[in-house]
């Protein structure tokens, strides 16, 4: 009796699985009926087809999708410590190398009176997932700088803290500390505070406040920058 009861339960279980399991031979028409959509909508929507095959991990996608974007920058610079000179700055920020957390940035800034000039390029490695609202990135690169009193060039190393206030480049704050030729007699430290706010889906307005410290002098710069986000 127990054997017959076990066989009966097993058979009922198989029938239930067959009734509830989705058929591999489902047509767009039957899928459309399940979703209350026309077959053409299902057929022409890669997103719906992907969701029908496997429900994606939305949380993981958000973590990996960058919360900030590449920016091409062009703006005005004011150098209060160099005779209140004015000048220009331009560059590019965070060119992504795949989704590995590596980005490349480069910039040029100069005063029109010839008393200040700086240029260089840096490689950043973001330690947290690119979709994070708070991120940290050590950096290494090269920088040349010249003032009215001195000039130097060499390896640039440091760290960047990024606070994303609104995803997709809409608003963020970053603080970067780096040193050119660290440990040498020509060492120069850079502290940069940058605040950005999007005006349109592709344009941002950014403000940079930068302090440049050498062993014998201190210089500063304030920049107002228009940024284009591809």
Same-domain pairing of 94 and 21: no
Question: Using H for helix, E for strand and C for coil, what is the string for the chain?
Answer: CHHHHHHHHHHHHHHHHHHHCCCCCCCHHHHHHHHCCCHHHHHCCHHHHHHHHCCCCHHHHHHHCCCCCCEEEEEEEEECCCCCEEEEEEEEEEEEECCCCEEEEEEEEEECCCCCEEEEEEEEECCCCCCCCEEEEEEEEEEEEECCCCEEEEEEEEEEEEEEEECCCCEEEEEEEEEECCCCCCCEEEEEEEEEEECCCCEEEEEEEEEEEECCCEEEEEEEEEEECC
Rg of the chain over all Cα atoms, to the nearest angstrom:
28
Does residue 62 fall inside a structural domain?
no
Same-domain pairing of 93 and 183: yes
Same-domain pairing of 23 and 89: no
Same-domain pairing of 17 and 46: yes
Same-domain pairing of 88 and 195: yes
Does residue 66 fall inside a structural domain?
no
Query: pLDDT in tens for each of the 230 residues of the chain?
Result: 544 444 444 444 444 444 444 444 444 444 444 556 667 766 677 766 666 666 666 566 666 789 999 999 999 999 998 889 999 999 999 999 988 899 999 999 999 999 999 999 999 999 999 999 999 999 999 999 998 888 899 999 999 999 999 999 999 999 999 999 998 988 999 999 999 999 999 999 999 999 999 887 889 999 999 999 99
Token couple for 73? 């920058």
Does residue 42 fall inside a structural domain?
yes
Stated pTM of the model? 0.74
Domain total in the chain? 2
Same-domain pairing of 86 and 149: yes
Residue ranges making up the domain that contains 37: 2-56
Does residue 78 fall inside a structural domain?
yes
Q: What CATH number did the domain enclosing 188 receive? A: 2.40.160.40
């Amino acid at each position: 009796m127990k054997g017959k009861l076990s066989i009966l339960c097993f058979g009922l279980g198989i029938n239930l699985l067959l009734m509830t399991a989705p058929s591999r031979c489902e047509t767009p028409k039957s899928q459309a009926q399940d979703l209350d959509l026309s077959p053409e909508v299902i057929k022409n929507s890669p997103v719906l087809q992907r969701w029908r095959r496997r429900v994606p991990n939305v949380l993981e996608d958000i973590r990996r999708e960058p919360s900030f974007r590449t920016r091409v920058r062009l703006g005005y610079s004011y150098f209060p410590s160099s005779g209140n000179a004015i000048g220009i700055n331009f560059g590019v920020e965070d060119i992504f190398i795949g989704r590995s957390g590596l980005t490349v940035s480069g910039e040029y800034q100069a005063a029109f009176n010839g008393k200040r000039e700086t240029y260089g390029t840096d490689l950043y490695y973001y330690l947290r997932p690119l979709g994070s609202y708070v991120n940290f990135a050590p950096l290494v690169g090269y920088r040349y700088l010249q003032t009215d009193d001195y000039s130097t060039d060499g390896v640039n190393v440091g760290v960047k803290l990024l606070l994303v206030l609104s995803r997709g480049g809409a608003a963020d704050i970053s603080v970067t500390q780096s040193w050119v030729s660290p440990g040498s007699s020509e060492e120069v430290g850079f502290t940069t505070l940058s605040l950005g706010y999007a005006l349109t889906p592709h344009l941002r307005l950014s403000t940079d406040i930068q302090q440049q410290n050498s062993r014998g002098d201190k210089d500063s710069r304030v920049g107002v920058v228009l940024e284009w986000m591809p």
